[in-house]
Structure 1
């Protein structure tokens, strides 16, 4: 999938496919890259999340921009929507979880991080990732928090897939998740808040890195000359 996505993104950004032009059909791309149509579909979804294309039912996929959008969309919510809301919900939720978690909550969280460490399938990993965040919300002892995270789980899953595909986030996420669980297990509200804050900051940084337009080599030289 990464190879298909990299090729198509490069072709669009280099102008091989102009704005308004139609990309080859899924079947044609699958044959060209010798992959399944489901792999091509994943790559096309990633292009759409980047803001480079749009899909029209029954017509195909069309190029809408030659550079990534600054605010990718994951289902009904944008990256900015999720970043803002997660800061105000998941950070305090982690603190509540540290104060109120049960032994069953800790056992489940520990089980989930171990599963994520061992999981090789990207789709399965993303499902575990969203379950991890839902479990922390449940551990807070407030069912409203758990209901809220459930409500946005699809968008969180799409964002997680996007970050793994384009930002190679899995290994770092696993480490950050372990730190969050350790902090919650310690019973320290401050440590749990700090661990979740760091995790979400890394997510935001990776998103920014993915969508930031590439700078031409001479641009950096011009900036240095002006400085």
Structure 2
């Protein structure tokens, strides 16, 4: 089994389980195989299975019920679930956004004066791959988006910041995926990445910091506008 340089084992599992849901092998309301069974079927670790199931839940394809397992959502539940989920977790979402802004604006400011041409080329390559990925392949686009932001944090070269960010990222992932699904933010994100890259090329730390702030809040504004409509 081969994975691309950016795709994770979890991404591979997500795409395979999605296909089985789409072709009816896992029908609406049906229970997915257990973590242990999926781990054995794909010869992967249970941590990768858990990550994949969380991503599928974040995309509103399944529901994980503690102590019972994972169940495929009906088409109706998928269409209604995302906005209801955001309404129920609005305060937590806002807190997470503020934490993300604090971490990433500091990271991009520090990275702007340390970035090398090699890192800039990697950021360009990641963003191009992001844009080339099908809009329906949310999992892969998410991975490219995360890779872009993770490389900026790494380039800041602050060990404690990177450690905090890595811990935070797992908590924010579900919100990030649902933001992508709910707002169709893909195209705006690519343009935001390009603007940040240009600031890096100019070694302009103030511009990079402001652009990161705007980049994060752009999707937040879109989400909140949609939530106002769905109230």
Match of residue 17 from structure 2: none
Gaps of 5+ in 1: 1-25, 32-40, 216-227
* Structure 2 residue aligned with 1:72: 89
Aligned twin of 1:149: 165
Query: After superposition, what is the alpha-carbon deviation per residue over 1:25-65, rounded to whole angstroms, capped at 9, x for unaligned?
Result: x954279xxxxxxxxx977545599xxx88343276999x9
- The 1-side partners of 2:29 and 2:173 are apart by 24
- The alignment partner of 1:100 has SS state of coil
Residues 1:188 and 2:208 are matched in the alignment: no
Q: 1:98 aligns with which of 98, 112, 120?
A: 112
CA distance in 1, matches of 2:141, 2:96: 20
**What TM-score do the two structures reach when normalised by structure 2?**
0.63
Cα distance in 2, alignment partners of residues 114 and 155 from structure 1: 26
Q: How many residues get paired?
A: 175
Q: Superposition pairs for residues 110-149 of structure 1, below 5 Å?
A: 110-120=124-134, 121-149=137-165
Query: Residue deviations 1:111-153, cap 9 Å, x none?
Result: 1111111112221110111111111011112122222222222
Q: Please, which moves more after superposition, 147-156 or 103-112? A: 147-156
Q: Unaligned stretches of 5+ in structure 2?
A: 1-24, 31-53
Q: Distance in 2 between matches of 1:46 and 1:212?
A: 21
TM-score (norm 1): 0.64
Cα 1:155–1:55, aligned 2, differ >3 Å: closer, same or farther?
Answer: same
| 1:44–1:111 distance in 2 versus 1, CA, 3 Å | closer
In 2, are the aligned partners of 1:130 and 1:157 still within 8 Å (CA)? no
